[in-house]
Structure 1
Amino acid sequence: MQADPQRDPLSATLSALADPTRRAILARLAQGAATVNELAEPFDISLPAVSRHLKVLEQAGLISRGREAQWRPCKLEAGPLRDLDGWLAHYRRFWEGSFDKMDAYLATLTKGDPNGRKN
């Protein structure tokens, strides 16, 4: 079941990012706008399958689609990724603090020995 991006944009972003093909599409779009055919090129899946992936990304707000003549280039939208990064920042402080504690603990274990062996 798809998350409703209007009600819970973070869940929609995480759901969209859960698929490796969609993450690869976003990585490609980070280099610049691309058409569906350009995005489909490296994948061994059908054009309709790529279109379905693009629809999920678009519904999550991660991409937008323009119109240039008969082309509909896709473009990366950074807002949902920025929001996800903000949410992760809380947890980043936790794991960075954990690493700092581990570094201090390891320093006490190896105190005075430049080879890192326990005293």
Structure 2
Amino acid sequence: MVVLSLSHNQFSGTIPKEIGNLKELDLLAISSNNFSGSLPPELGNLVKMQGLYMDSCGCGGEIPSTFANLRELRHMWASDSPFSGKIPDFIGNWTKLLRLRLQGNNFEGPIPATFSNLTSLTSL
């Protein structure tokens, strides 16, 4: 499977950690749902993923540290969800990133200095 789009539904419960087994996944869209709990760390196994859309998904908490492995990301939307903690420094290592949306969350603290590495960004 290359694309898994579950957006704009009324899905609830936690996101299955087994999605992390879809090693060829290029795009994961879970936006506009009623999921709960935290993002499964296993999603960090999706090292080929270029698009991750999780805006208004319902999940919260901190972005798992395993997401540091997602170095192929070009687009990540994580807005309007109860994500919290500090914005992860490792996002600055996603140097292929073109579009990043983080508005409408509960992040705190400074914007990481590593964001200066995001020289390909066209939208923040």
TM surpasses 0.5 = no
Higher RCO (CA-CA < 8 Å; seq separation 6+):
1
Higher relative helix content: 1
Larger Rg: 1
**Normalising by the residue count of structure 1, what TM-score does the alignment of the two structures yield?**
0.24
Higher relative strand content: 2
